[in-house]
Amino acid sequence: MYRTEHDSMGEVLVPADRLWGAQTQRSHENFPIGVGIETMPAEIIHAFGILKKAAARANNALVPGRMTEEKLAAISEACDEVIGGKLSEEFPLVVWQTGSGTQSNMNANEVIANRANQIAGKKLCHPNDDINMSQSSNDTFPTAMHIAAVLSVTDTLIPAVEKLVDTFRKIEEENPDVVKSGRTHLQDATPIRFAQEVSGWRTSLEKDLSLLRLAVGPLLELALGGTAVGTGLNAPKGFDEKVASEIALLTGKPFVTAKNKFHALTSKDELVFAHGAIKACACDMMKIANDVRWLASGPRLGLGEITIPANEPGSSIMPGKVNPTQCEQVTMVAVQIMGNDTAVGLAASQGNFELNVFMPVLIYNFLQSARLLAQSVRAFTENCAVGIRVNEEKMHNNLHGSLMLVTALNPYIGYENAAKVAHKAYEENTSLREACVKLGFLTEERFDEVFHPEKMV
């Protein structure tokens, strides 16, 4: 069953049970690319609900003759349903559409207008004249991008990383005196406390949190109010500041209007910068996950210095095999984010004159990165990191079998003689103590006086 809708190009048949209108339907038919799979991210739809409600409030305050209390009430209720995800099936459009996101803006306008009319019980609101009042797709889509990016980073990604930081801190506190062999270049190195090793992971993530918080700042500036090309045509004076303050109230985030709308419409440097912070965190997670799976390798023929939870069988042919699957998902997610960073950068470089027309693909990749990393870190924390346990016996044996403990002898016999000791011990498969005494560099008693691996940390 269909109903007839019309736009400036003529009439269009729209499914009768849908709230969208003619322009949404045209886009749905003209861009059969990734349908049902690569639709506009839910975070963007959520952001559109926020900004359309904020715009209605601002218009009501500035031009109450046009945005009446009756319209505001109906629009606000419809927007709340969009924000709450109740109308998610009404947003079918794909990422691969116009580069300005115009069709998604009109999708929001049409759905909110038709739902507002249902709420009012009459034809009260028009998609362009009321829902899109004082706006253009050219300033609403960049605004939705910033809202979605800020909420994704602050409300989802940062809390996930903070939880892993707390988990690592707890591991440090539980293992203050465990000493193990350090490793550089995948080769034996001088001793290190396990807590010190974990503190390196924790501090890396704390630095990433600082970068993420820093990156959010520029995203708090909104393009809304610039309308078509940044001049603010058809928007009442003060609309930009008022709508930004309304968005701040609705989100609880300190959004402000962008000082220069010409920049806000065409440049996407803030998103590139913020995605760089996401990528930095992904890089650290890649390193941490690799460290964990190396340390847990075995269980008998690897390093085996820690154990991690066994979550599922690891092989369809080898009975009893268990794999570090959480570490593997982290590294795969990191690879995806590194690839996304290239797409984000290339998309941001394609602004021409007064508008960037690669915005949907840019925000699609950005939000995927933030979403994947948050979910990945959360899964790694809950299904792996909290279950890390130290194998002290293995660490002790590896530590005392390390030839690099010879470094402790440098102050007593010199670098070159210490190197001779290490080589002799390795070639003859003996201890450092035996090699040093055979070479005549120290007596057994003197060696025991100066050689204490646990004090080398």
Residues assigned a catalytic role: 185, 315
In this structure, what token pair is assigned to residue 334?
Answer: 């990191």
**41 upstream amide cis, omega within 30 of 0:** no
Backbone angles phi, psi at 307, to 5 degrees: -115, 150
Distance CA 170, CA 168 (A): 5
In this structure, what token pair is assigned to residue 192?
Answer: 């290190």
- Name every residue whose Cβ is closer than 8 Å to that of residue 7 and which is 6 or more positions away in sequence: 21, 22, 23, 26
CA distances in angstroms from 453 to 182, 190, 255, listed in the order given: 12, 9, 55
Nearest to 131 by CA among 59, 212, 182: 59
Nearest to 222 by CA among 189, 194, 250: 250
Query: Residue for token digits 């996930």?
Result: 160
Backbone angles phi, psi at 391, to 5 degrees: -100, 90
Quick count: other Cβ atoms within 10 Å of Cβ 360? 26
Nearest to 370 by CA among 93, 204, 142, 160: 160
Q: Give DSSP secondary structure letters for 376-434.
A: HHHHHHHHTGGG-EE-HHHHHHHHHT-GGGGGGGHHHH-HHHHHHHHHHHHHHT--HHH
Query: Residue for token digits 């009319």?
Result: 117
